[in-house]
Amino acid sequence: MTAAELISGAEFLRNAAQKFFKDRYQVPTIYVGSELHRDLGWTPSLRFVVQGYIHVFVEFSEDSPYPRILRMRLPDVLHFPEPIAVYVVCPEQVALNAANQKSIADLENHGFGLVTVDQAGVAWRRFAAVPLSQVISNADYKSELQGLTPRQKERIAQAYEDYKNKPAIGVTSLTEVVEGLALQAAKEAAKKQWIEAALARGNVADALDAMFQCNSCRNARGAIGGVRGYIADHRNLSHHWPKNKKRAKQRYTECRLAFVEGIRQMRNFRTAMRNIGLSGNLPAA
């Protein structure tokens, strides 16, 4: 007889989950069936705090990797003024069921984490939960990439991986891609003798200022100004996360908006450069 057969399914999952999360995050306190705030209308099965500012909720599901309560409570979580990440804990055999693979993919895409428990009562993390306020859905992400070159998409994808792990670092990585796009345009403009060659080899802000003032680039001034402003705002973004929970939630939201905006600036800049006779490409590898 297995451990799972000796106690109820929910208790079996809870025991395994508590041990897993306590070992994984070294949290001193895990609250069981405790409400965080009445405005949420959600009492998670388990909850605890990591890094001093992220609330982690845990729900158990004996028959589905994507329990209905997650979809029901997501709007409330997104509107709550402090960052929340959510894990599902389910039996290993449920996660391995072929019929559940689409639900598991959706779960990860929506930013939830998944922990599975085998018949011996050992929990394993399939993928990590992230604060839900930072999540960019795959559909939105792919939509923003339309009109960009394969190389540009590849560089953005690299920044996106950084973003999913550390949002501020991901935004900085994307800003470096935007900067490369701008400098390549400046080099091409210098080759056409629209701006001085020295400017194209120097500071990106000076290069963009020169292009903005150049008569040959007058029809692209909106895109040039947009990229210059984006780089100025995000190139040296602080990677130090605020410990205040409400400010941390704002930072996650700001990073999500900044990452999407960076892709849009690239797309607009590429189109504008092509319209004035430049390539709109990144530098050659």
For residue 246, pLDDT beyond 70: yes
- Check: CB of residue 199 under 8 Å from CB of residue 234: no
Same domain, 51 and 86: yes
For residue 95, pLDDT beyond 60: yes
Q: Which domain holds residue 48?
A: 3-133
Same domain, 189 and 220: yes
Q: Which long-range contacts (CB under 8 A, 24 or more apart) does 201-208 make?
A: 204/179, 204/228, 204/231, 205/231, 205/232, 207/182, 207/183, 208/182
Same domain, 127 and 145: no
Q: Which of 98, 115, 133 is the last residue of a domain?
A: 133
- Residue 29 tokens read as 């306190």
Mean pLDDT of the chain: 93
pLDDT mean over 227-249 = 88
**Residues 239, 223: Cα–Cα separation, whole Å:** 27
* CA angle, 255 then 258 then 262, to 5°: 140
The count of domains in the chain is 2
pTM (global) more than 0.85:
yes
Q: Which of 84, 106, 133 is the last residue of a domain?
A: 133
Q: Which of 73, 102, 133 is the last residue of a domain?
A: 133
Same domain, 80 and 142: no
Residue 118 domain-assigned (yes or no) = yes
pLDDT, tens digit, 9 for 90 and up, residues 184-222: 999 999 999 999 999 998 899 999 999 999 999 999 999
pLDDT, tens digit, 9 for 90 and up, residues 102-138: 999 999 999 999 999 999 999 999 999 999 999 998 8
Same domain, 143 and 212: yes
Percent of the chain with pLDDT over 70: 97
Q: How far is CA 157 from CA 98, 111, 139, in A?
A: 28, 17, 14
